[in-house]
Amino acid sequence: MTVSMPMSASGAVVLVAALCVAPMVVAQSRASSPSVKGATSAVGGEAPTLSVVEWLQRMHTASRQRSYAGTFVVSAAGGNLSSARIWHVCEGDLQFERVEVLSGPPRSTFRRNNHVMTFLPETKIVKSEKRENLELFPNLLGAPDSAIGNYYGARVVGKDRVAGFDADVVQLEPRDGLRFGYRIWSERRSGLVVKLQTLDGENRVIEQSAFSELQLDAPVKAQALAQMMASTAGYKVEKSELERSTPLKEGWDLRAPIAGFKPVSCYRRAMGAAAGGEQGHTMQWIFSDGLATVSLFVEPYDAKRQPREVLLALGATYTLTRKLTNKDGDWWLTAVGEVPPQTLDGFAQSLVRAR
């Protein structure tokens, strides 16, 4: 199974300000934690006093109401730096994005609401898929859930300028060890996220992403992006076939929920032929606490393709693989999320066969 990594570290980025640039900006660059105390003199006036839910709502709304264009840079532990050029436009309920990767293999990604098309010019392939969970930041599905306040606190820690814009620096602090913290630069007037740092349990920066150049209310035309998105001449279009399902229908359940993480969606996707020539399937079960997401991929175990269990870290994203043995056979779990490894282990320990 090829796992599509979430945006936030892992080779990808946490989607800042509703940017669906997950597969596009790959980075593993060490980010030294800046002194927020030194980022206090650029903005006049006081930041608003808001709860964590109110801050997230402000950021969430700004990302869906403002058109902008800019250069987005990502760094994470590892020493490398990656960037992309982004165009984002909102017209009523319609959202379009175009992302051009500026480092690594060339790639262009377009999004029209939940329809995403990724152009790979070196192979002349276009990958087309529907994504309900767009890995946005904040990852709010509709109105923010007041329960987020049970798991994160919010406080203003300074003021700064990013890409020429005044910003309030807000720290979201986890109330347990199951999630990372965040330091967010929120553009003063609109609330748009212009910079984001992911923090570990010792308040060290393990990943950061920011606009190095940004134009708010840029003259981006949805029609022009739609025309580029439809220009597939000379490319082979590969559609990702996803079938909506439920964990119980697929035969899986959790013994106990992981605090704060709620199920978002579940899909059944086709995979290569299994042993015996039969078509295999993978279940993808997605959870979110409103900021971080976790995906559980479960498929039949194949010793040739899944030789050993591992725990991988790429920036703020961890990947855990584990063999599960049940009375109906062996299964292979791949758990991926921008969460501490103990959270993924909790999911792995709780996952059980329901039939």
Q: Mean pLDDT of residues grouped by 10 in the chain (355 residues)?
A: 34 32 30 39 62 88 87 81 91 89 94 93 94 51 69 94 96 96 94 94 92 93 94 94 91 96 91 57 92 94 86 92 91 96 97 89
Question: How many CA atoms lie within 13 Å of 135's alpha carbon, on the beta-carbon side?
Answer: 26
pTM for this model (two decimals): 0.81
Q: Token digits for 340?
A: 């501490």
pLDDT at residue 279, as a whole number: 60
Other beta carbons less than 10 A from residue 71's beta carbon: 16
Place of tokens 């690594």: 104
Q: Which helix (H) or strand (E) holds 185?
A: strand 181-187
Considering the chain, tell me which residue range(s) the CATH 3.30.200.100 domain(s) occupy: 241-353
pLDDT at residue 132, as a whole number: 62
Considering the chain, tell me which residue range(s) the CATH 2.50.20.10 domain(s) occupy: 16-237
Other beta carbons less than 10 A from residue 171's beta carbon: 19
pLDDT at residue 18, as a whole number: 31
Tell how strand 125-130 and strand 236-239 pair up.
parallel
Other beta carbons less than 10 A from residue 311's beta carbon: 13
The answer regarding whether domain 241-353 maps to CATH 2.40.50.140 reads no
pLDDT at residue 200, as a whole number: 94
**Dihedrals φ, ψ of 126, to 5°?**
-115, 125
Cβ atoms of 75 and 81 closer than 8 Å: yes
Q: Kindly report the length of the chain.
A: 355
Cβ atoms of 313 and 306 closer than 8 Å: no
Which residues contact residue 152 at a Cβ distance below 8 angstroms, ignoring those fewer than 6 apart?
A: 52, 172, 173, 174, 175, 179, 181, 291
pLDDT at residue 49, as a whole number: 80
Euclidean distance between CA atoms 155 and 132, whole angstroms: 30
**Span 16-237: which CATH code?**
2.50.20.10
Q: Token digits for 330?
A: 């062996």
Q: How far is the CA of 90 from the CAs of 62, 69, 94, 136, in angstroms?
A: 11, 12, 6, 15
